[in-house]
Amino acid sequence: DAKTTQPTSMDCAEGRAANLPCNHSTISGNEYVYWYRQIHSQGPQYIIHGLKNNETNEMASLIITEDRKSSTLILPHATLRDTAVYYCIVREYNAGNMLTFGGGTRLMVKP
């Protein structure tokens, strides 16, 4: 069973906020939510992670619902270079060092 569910694709206008949702309804108490993105022909790039509080860094903000069953990655001012596949993944705290990726959301930022 997939640990996370994301829409397959989304579009966003350049300069507008991109809001990427992720459902992780079976998340357990010690599991973190991580976001990565992969630009075409490159390796994935770490964006942000969080446990239960909202997080913000220079790339994005992460909003986690109070019940932790879903989260939203926000790119506040999307640019054409943000076009990529965005992966929401849940880290299994007691499963060593594994991070399992699902299918991700293909974000297309349009002029």
Partner 1 sequence: DVKVTQSSRYLVKRTGEKVFLECVQDMDHENMFWYRQDPGLGLRLIYFSYDVKMKEKGDIPEGYSVSREKKERFSLILESASTNQTSMYLCASSPDLQRVSTGELFFGEGSRLTVL
79 Cβ contact partners less than 8 Å away, ≥ 6 residues apart? 14, 15, 109
Q: Using CB under 8 A, pick the residue from 7, 21, 44, 55 that binds partner 1.
A: 44
| Per CB under 8 A, 103 contacts partner 1 | yes
| Per CB under 8 A, 11 contacts partner 1 | no
Of residues 56-85, those binding partner 1 (CB under 8 A): none
Q: Using CB under 8 A, pick the residue from 40, 42, 53, 67 that binds partner 1.
A: 42
| Per CB under 8 A, 29 contacts partner 1 | no
| Per CB under 8 A, 111 contacts partner 1 | no
Least CB distance to partner 1 at residue 63 (A): 19
What is the C-alpha R_g of the chain? 13
Q: Using CB under 8 A, pick the residue from 51, 59, 63, 108 that binds partner 1.
A: 51
* String of DSSP letters for 18-58: EEEEEE-TT--TTPEEEEEEE-TTS--EEEEEESSS-EE-S
Exposure string over 41-63, b if 16+ CB within 10 A, otherwise e: eeebeebbebeeeebeeeebbbb
By the criterion CB under 8 A, which residues form the site for partner 1? 32, 34, 36, 41-46, 49, 51, 87, 91, 96-104
